[in-house]
Structure 1
């Protein structure tokens, strides 16, 4: 249940009230789904300050909530988050962006216990919602997808994939975040990859059936990219990297991605007509996709022994910056596959957001790092403890606001204009 809200700093309140010009009417600053509007972990806008100190990055408010692994999504006026309450209910919340006031909450019965190492920190809701300006689409852990009215929280429709498709409940729950693209949603659920009409939840097509393997549906979240001249859905199942035609669900190309027990977790990223990915207890790879006379093929361009895990990488100026299974950061030249550097260890998990040559990294220890994207050396500009609680959810950035979903709370920090450069 909600237990506290911090008093808002007057300086931050003034800054928030005056920042409407930052959030264009096109919604370009909104952080509306997993890894942002383009699902690549990048944001636009003026360069971030070079400091994370309390004068430059000020906490506006903090609200305690039931635990969650799913990241916040943000509009110009609202912060949407989720939680698992009493190990029985899943709850979606809408909070006022300026004050943290809870505007509404919606709940439904939905909880389960995940197995093995995944249960070490609790079996909480996992996937990050998607927001289209009118509706909030929430993936519940028991393989359900719920559409809520974003203004009122009223449920508009629900799809129970286990019931509708007669598929087993995925062992690790619904972990892949829904992809919003135009009038459709795409999900890795029901041991398959599915396209749904966002207005009513009707399934348009279903492909990659049984791609989830013995443990159920995949972990990795899909994205959209134009590769080899074709706009397509980029999907990583528990065994394969796949290009899918968004119109009909046809598989355009596929390539096996070596995995340990199907743990292909991170979201792949594109580099020209190539795709970079990395998997737990394995390596990193760049796969090149080509097209000739309408037929696609995918080949391995290079491999590197850098082993990724859960953290999805970012690409800046031809280099991929990633957080590894061994808790270190690394930089790889995407043209050659050469590892440029490796840092000292940090946390077990780290969510990354890039803007120009800066990277914000939030690790699960509650430490926020500001890095400079320097391919020649690991360059830490500043590190600040922003939470005494663990922070497994993906960080969100919108305009000059930084939103952090701690395990048991959500906080909004604001970069003060004119802060240290």
Structure 2
């Protein structure tokens, strides 16, 4: 009887060696493009597994019975995986998130509710807070070690990446419920659903997820919302009844951004301002907030994913907007573009432009680009924007950044960083929180990590100081946290939870 031929391991070793070299080539150079590295890593691993399977079947000289068992196990694994699992999205680094195919979502169900007394309430009426800068400067959080946050309520919500806006005792957000895009109001104290306005619309993509992503804006007795497909609604904040509605993409010849419209409406006196990204002076558009009538338009650049914000720069009030491929300042009176600079990226522009002095604007984005500091000035009555520096040391993909006591704090491709904005030099970089969100409260920062945990950080230019951690949510969270008085609300595409936190008044 002939001895079986020895297994040919040389080809296997070659596959493993080449795969290792490929992974080292992907990660060792400092490319600054983490998402591309992740995609290349996944591709390398998949190709390596397929090559090893082919080696085992055709080149390893394994006995027929063993090859049959390997093939059967491989096919069984694929059948079980595809029949029981689904990809329900990706992380900010483009790592697939798996879920059971039979998992179901319910909406508006209160999972937990408790009574609270003596709660301080304060409006949080729009995206990133009262001044649209991710800062609440007149409050200070009491230590979470001695006075831990108390859970007030927890509810099931529909999919989407919008945050809450709060006015009085009403908290409003946007959700996807089946084939309907919904604006939903909840009781701030109990989490009970008050009303729902639903439109037949749905946005979904494997990478961007499902549902609306723009945070509502509340002004007096009305709430204004932008859906992912361009639906622009004005609703009664108490009842949800519709005052007027339009589609800003259709009306302004705009094109839906790849990941859906994400910019929140901006209220300015009698106007409501949105970013449809239309051509022919319809990049930024103002409507009458009472009637929905068109008032003015300006710019010709496609929409990005940031929201218009009002600031005084170079001695003049202007609306700043991060478009798809440019950063611009508009005249609030007529929408005219005062200044505009090209940005080396036509997608993924999410973080807000942030003025850090009377005439300097700090801008950042992810995907390997980084940040730039512009000086805005006037010459012969014309505005100009001059680049002072650019650096890859802060790549703000999703999260906005904050300016506090002369330093910039933000998430550099998911890692917390402190930057000196005068020089662009990094003070420190520590704490991998993923592609979450941040909110400054006095001298502390609420960090909503991408995996759902909340980290309370002391803002210190010398080092990272973590004060406390709170296991608020347990799945991917891209939504912004809010603080309405002493009530902190966080949510993702599955749950929302409200905590009571201790506050000191008259802080910074």
- TM-score for the superposition, normalised by structure 1: 0.89
- Report SS of the residue matched to 1:163: helix
5 Å-filtered alignment, 1:306-345, equals 306=393, 307-325=395-413, 327-345=414-432
CA distance in 2, matches of 1:376, 1:297: 35
CA distance in 2, matches of 1:256, 1:166: 22
CA distance in 2, matches of 1:241, 1:164: 23
Query: Is 1:134 aligned with 2:225?
Result: no
How far did residue 236 of structure 1 move? Answer: 1.2
- Which residue, 229, 234, 238 being the options, matches 2:320? 234
1:207-229 deviations in whole A, cap 9, x for unaligned? Answer: 222x11xxxx3211111110110
- Which residue, 352, 360, 365 being the options, matches 1:267? 352
Per the alignment, do residues 322 and 197 of structure 1 end up closer, same or farther by CA in structure 2, a change over 3 Å counting?
same
CA distance in 1, matches of 2:476, 2:220: 30
Q: Which residue of 2 aligns with 1:2?
A: 107
Q: Say whether the 8 Å CA contact 2:162–2:212 is kept in structure 1.
A: yes
CA distance in 2, matches of 1:34, 1:205: 23
5 Å-filtered alignment, 1:37-56, equals 37-51=130-144, 56=148
CA distance in 2, matches of 1:203, 1:102: 33
Query: Is 1:208 aligned with 2:299?
Result: yes
How far did residue 368 of structure 1 move? Answer: 0.3
Structure 1 gaps, min length 5:
24-28
Q: Which residue of 2 aligns with 1:26?
A: none
5 Å-filtered alignment, 1:162-177, equals 162-177=249-264
CA distance in 1, matches of 2:197, 2:387: 46
Q: Which residue of 1 aligns with 2:191?
A: 100
CA distance in 1, matches of 2:249, 2:347: 21
Per the alignment, do residues 400 and 294 of structure 1 end up closer, same or farther by CA in structure 2, a change over 3 Å counting?
same
How far did residue 38 of structure 1 move? Answer: 0.4
CA distance in 2, matches of 1:144, 1:408: 23
How far did residue 356 of structure 1 move? Answer: 2.1
CA distance in 2, matches of 1:46, 1:346: 24
Q: Which residue of 1 aligns with 2:342?
A: 256
How far did residue 188 of structure 1 move? Answer: 1.1
How far did residue 2 of structure 1 move? Answer: 3.0
Q: Say whether the 8 Å CA contact 1:311–1:324 is kept in structure 2.
A: no
- TM-score for the superposition, normalised by structure 2: 0.74
CA distance in 1, matches of 2:113, 2:207: 38
CA distance in 2, matches of 1:157, 1:182: 18
- Report SS of the residue matched to 1:322: strand
Per the alignment, do residues 6 and 172 of structure 1 end up closer, same or farther by CA in structure 2, a change over 3 Å counting?
closer
Q: Which residue of 2 aligns with 1:409?
A: 495
Q: Which residue of 2 aligns with 1:298?
A: 385
CA distance in 2, matches of 1:34, 1:380: 25
Query: Is 1:388 aligned with 2:474?
Result: yes
- Report SS of the residue matched to 2:419: strand
Q: Say whether the 8 Å CA contact 1:35–1:41 is kept in structure 2.
A: yes
1:240-259 deviations in whole A, cap 9, x for unaligned? Answer: 11111011111111112222
How far did residue 375 of structure 1 move? Answer: 0.7
How far did residue 377 of structure 1 move? Answer: 0.9
Query: Is 1:14 aligned with 2:117?
Result: yes
Instruction: Count matched residues.
Output: 392
Give the structure, 1 or 2, with the largest relative contact order (CA under 8 Å, sep 6 or more). 1
CA distance in 1, matches of 2:410, 2:503: 29
5 Å-filtered alignment, 1:83-162, equals 83-86=175-178, 88-114=179-205, 117-118=207-208, 122-162=209-249
- Report SS of the residue matched to 1:320: strand
5 Å-filtered alignment, 1:71-86, equals 71-86=163-178
The RMSD of aligned alpha carbons is 1.8
CA distance in 1, matches of 2:182, 2:472: 24
Structure 2 gaps, min length 5:
1-105
Q: Which residue of 2 aligns with 1:353?
A: 439
- Report SS of the residue matched to 2:171: strand
Per the alignment, do residues 389 and 117 of structure 1 end up closer, same or farther by CA in structure 2, a change over 3 Å counting?
closer
Q: Say whether the 8 Å CA contact 1:52–1:384 is kept in structure 2.
A: no
Q: Which residue of 1 aligns with 2:32?
A: none
CA distance in 2, matches of 1:31, 1:396: 7
Flag the structure with larger Rg: 2
Q: Say whether the 8 Å CA contact 1:144–1:160 is kept in structure 2.
A: yes
How far did residue 167 of structure 1 move? Answer: 3.7
Per the alignment, do residues 251 and 163 of structure 1 end up closer, same or farther by CA in structure 2, a change over 3 Å counting?
closer
CA distance in 1, matches of 2:167, 2:154: 18
Query: Is 1:58 aligned with 2:150?
Result: yes
Q: Which residue of 2 aligns with 1:69?
A: 161
